[in-house]
Amino acid sequence: MQTVIQLDQLCKRYGNTTAVDHITMQVNKGEIFGIVGPNGAGKTTLIEMLEGLRLPDSGSATVLGLDIRKHAMEIKQRIGVLLQATSMPEKAKVREVLQMFASLYHKSTDPKEISAFLGLEDKQNAFIKSLSGGWKQRVSLALALINDPEILFLDEPSMGLDPNARKEMWDMIHRLKKDGRTIVVTTHYMEEAEYLCDRIAVISHGKLVALDTPQKLISMLGGTKRISFKNAGVTGKESFAGLPFVVDVEWETDTVKLHSSQIDETLQALFRLAAEEGWMVSGLRLEDASMNDVFTEMTASGKGIAG
């Protein structure tokens, strides 16, 4: 497998905080690589160093074999970056923006071709200002693809998009992967990370706490499942937490969710408890763990769960 991005003990500090703390990892050619983590975990700083916008304090990184310290300009020629949809001049027309940015690169795709690929043919003479959020996002994506990039960086690609537009964005990302591009995506939405990514890096407090496929990350939780039911309002949170094999309780006024590592045992104990106290377990649902659980578990404690 070919490596297109290689990080070695990469560090970046701002005053006393270490935004990126000795991260070593690699991204393989042709994969969709996710970077997740809470706000302020250092995702953005990390990505910005790879995009050639910031210099690291120590450690090293190469993108497409080019050192980020020495060859930022060459890296910029060969990568694409999806930015927020607002970052285009409102008084420019779609065609003008595409042509202008195409002219900045040594190698560029014909704006017409990209427009056809993204369904922008009819919007060529529209002012950016007049476009809806979804359309702006497409123009933004067209700009990220204008130099036929080998690596595409997507920062929160579906932020602010409605569910339909989000689905379209995901389909688009899968199509881009089929073209052989490597895609690095940061996201808040664990559902998105789980659905899109081949591998996910979980970053917390500047450190890499886990890196694996979504399935492996979820199974690392040791088969934790969730038991969800209607909150009858009789039993207190502490009693639920005291049931066998319960590792966590999500408490809301109308529903209770028990995270259990031995779902059969916990269920039996739950029914026994309900019978003793004279209430019915209703609205019962069993859920598998998801990337959401991985995210909560791994980033709350600030340390990994592997091992």
Among 17, 103, 213, 301, which residue sits at the site for another protein (rule: CB under 8 A)?
A: 103
Q: What is the CA radius of gyration of the chain?
A: 23
Residue 104 binds another protein, judged by CB under 8 A: yes
Q: Which is closer to another protein, CB of 149 or CB of 214?
A: 149
Residue 12 binds another protein, judged by CB under 8 A: no
Residue 100 binds another protein, judged by CB under 8 A: yes
Residue written as tokens 């953005």? 44
Residue 143 binds another protein, judged by CB under 8 A: yes
Q: Which stretch binds another protein (CB under 8 A): 57-65, 77-85, 229-237, 260-268?
A: 77-85
Angle at 293 between CA 84 and CA 296, to 5 degrees: 70
Contact, 211 vs 199, CB < 8 A? Answer: yes
Among 29, 38, 66, 96, which residue sits at the site for another protein (rule: CB under 8 A)?
A: 96
Among 11, 92, 249, 281, which residue sits at the site for another protein (rule: CB under 8 A)?
A: 92
Query: 3-state DSSP: the chain helix, strand, coil percent, rounded to 5?
Result: 35, 30, 35
Among 23, 63, 64, 77, which residue sits at the site for another protein (rule: CB under 8 A)?
A: 77
Among 66, 83, 126, 165, which residue sits at the site for another protein (rule: CB under 8 A)?
A: 83
Sheet holding 285-288, edge to edge: 246-251, 255-260, 225-230, 285-288
Contact residues for 297 (Cβ-Cβ < 8 A; gap 6+): 221, 305
Phi and psi torsions of 157, nearest 5°: -65, -25
x/- map, 40-69, another protein, by CB under 8 A: -----------xxx----------------
Contact residues for 25 (Cβ-Cβ < 8 A; gap 6+): 7, 201, 208, 211
Give min distance, CB of 17 to another protein, in A: 17
Residue 89 binds another protein, judged by CB under 8 A: yes
Residue 9 corresponds to which tokens in the numbers above?
A: 């003990």
Binding site for another protein (CB under 8 A): 51-53, 73, 76-77, 81, 83-84, 86-92, 96, 99-101, 103-105, 143
